[in-house]
Amino acid sequence: MEGPDRNDMQGMLRYGYGRQKYAYYLMLSINDPQAARTWLSQTTFQSAAQSPDTHCCNLAFSASGLQKLGLTDLEALGFSRAFIEGMDTDHRNRTLGDFDHNAASRWEWGNREDNGLHLLLMIFARTPKELKTVYQQHKNAFLAHGLSEQHRIHAQYLQNAKGHYLEHFGFRDGLSQPEMHGTGRIAPPDHMVNPGEFVLGYPNAYEKLPHSPLDQERNLDLGKNGSYLVFRQLEQDVALFWQTLLDRSQATAADPSPAIELAAKMVGRKPGGEPLVVHPPQQANDFRFYEQDPLGRHCPLGSHIRRANPRDSKSKGDQSKNFDAAVRVANRHRILRRGRPYGLPVAESLQLEDIIAACLAGEVQGERGLNFVCFNTDIDRQFEFVQHTWANNPKFGGLYNDVDPIIGVQREKGRMVPTQFEVPDYPVRKRYHKLPAFTRVRGGSYFFLPGLNAIQMIATQFKG
């Protein structure tokens, strides 16, 4: 199968930019469309041809950004409905769980009032110093072209002494990723998917070309080698997470291991990333759930990773032994994650024991969380499905009243209610009731990340 064109695709679709640990996400507003077009033509955005050695940047557009640049009828051009309507609509607030403490009206950026959010410029650098210098260079250039900075989010990979990437609760992150056929990259077979799941212009999981924007009259293929970027800034309450888990597991400061075990059950992996089900040595992602652990006694049915990618899990009542078919179905809802933490870690050492000790000592200050970023070509079927139908679903996998313990929200009679988490066990299961939400949405938006040729089409072929 033909893989996406690496010379045209922006680098983020292929690389996590592990060497570029430090990043700024800049939300820019276009004040002078003609000057902004010049800036688009003059700025170099990193392609996926090779992994960059030094700093680099990538660019995505919001729907209002494209309109400001003269792509007035996005629907006629074939942009996705979710992208055009945006993340903050009444319908999406309900499905994504953006109410009460997650309410879009409380977001710092990206809600329906945030009309000036036109561009997302992402700058990546190897050191804080390099990031500052490159940021200043970009700033001089974009200010000179009538672009103003509405919002800036700093992000940095949290890399421990072993070189592993962590999220703020202290777990290894970025482990399970799908790989695209045709790119030359190999993953266990269950994780190989068609490129059209993440890159527009190539066959998707249905062997069909995904809906993709095109100016038919002028034969401008705006979608080719592009993707939709989902951004959710998720605050993590690390102190609440560990204090609650210590309390509920009756762990002590001297021996926090029961709390760590419960946290691992919630995530679905141990803090070091080892899966809770048996897996081939050295292959931390080559495993299935249902075949090995149908009742969730090792990896709970409601854990974060089992909900976010149920792999071979089948719907209730499906007695067939066709696990491959179940994997194929689950793979229609994969996302390519490119998130990065923001805020300072609770413990500089990034050692789990130190994180927990700081939480217990009440020494946690400041805000931190995950800049959740993912790519997909069908926001509805991929990101929104995962958040709504899997993470926020109290009846997921035959469960009774749980939601995803990390990102799920539950609503009753129009209000958010504390959730529960079930750990199947023998002879009796354990239920943890009245769990608070450990994460909170601080901002979010849908963007379009075009191929490099399409950026030039946007810069030169539209007026307004």
Q: Which CB atom, from 29 or from 445, has the smaller least distance to ligand HEM?
A: 445
d(CA 303, CA 425): 14
Piece of 11-19, 102-110, 304-312, 321-329 that binds ligand HEM (CB under 6 A): 304-312
Q: Which CB atom, from 146 or from 294, has the smaller least distance to ligand HEM?
A: 294
State which of residues 20, 93, 102, 387 lies at the interface with ligand HEM (CB under 6 A): 387
- Examine residue 35 and tell whether it contacts ligand HEM (CB under 6 A): no
- Examine residue 165 and tell whether it contacts ligand HEM (CB under 6 A): no
d(CA 382, CA 375): 9
Site string for ligand HEM, 260-299 (x = CB under 6 A): -------x-x------------------------------
- Examine residue 419 and tell whether it contacts ligand HEM (CB under 6 A): no
Contacts of residue 455, Cβ cutoff 8 Å, sequence gap at least 6:
40, 45, 59
Find out whether the peptide bond into 210 is cis, omega within 30 degrees of 0.
Answer: no
- Examine residue 111 and tell whether it contacts ligand HEM (CB under 6 A): no
- Residues from 306 through 335 that contact ligand HEM (CB under 6 A): 308-309, 335
d(CA 50, CA 79): 28
- Examine residue 49 and tell whether it contacts ligand HEM (CB under 6 A): no
Strand 119-125 and strand 22-30: pairing? antiparallel
Site string for ligand HEM, 218-257 (x = CB under 6 A): --------------x-x-x---------------------
In the complex, minimum distance from the CB of residue 274 to ligand HEM, in angstroms, rounded to a whole number: 10
Piece of 241-249, 318-326, 385-393, 452-460 that binds ligand HEM (CB under 6 A): 385-393
Site residue total, ligand HEM (CB under 6 A): 28
Closest listed residue to residue 109, CA positions, set 124, 90, 87: 87
State which of residues 46, 227, 303, 439 lies at the interface with ligand HEM (CB under 6 A): 439
Q: Encoding tokens for residue 302?
A: 């409601």
Which residues of the chain form contacts with ligand HEM (CB under 6 A)?
A: 167, 169, 171-176, 232, 234, 236, 267, 269, 304-305, 308-309, 335, 369-370, 372, 383, 386-387, 391, 406-407, 439
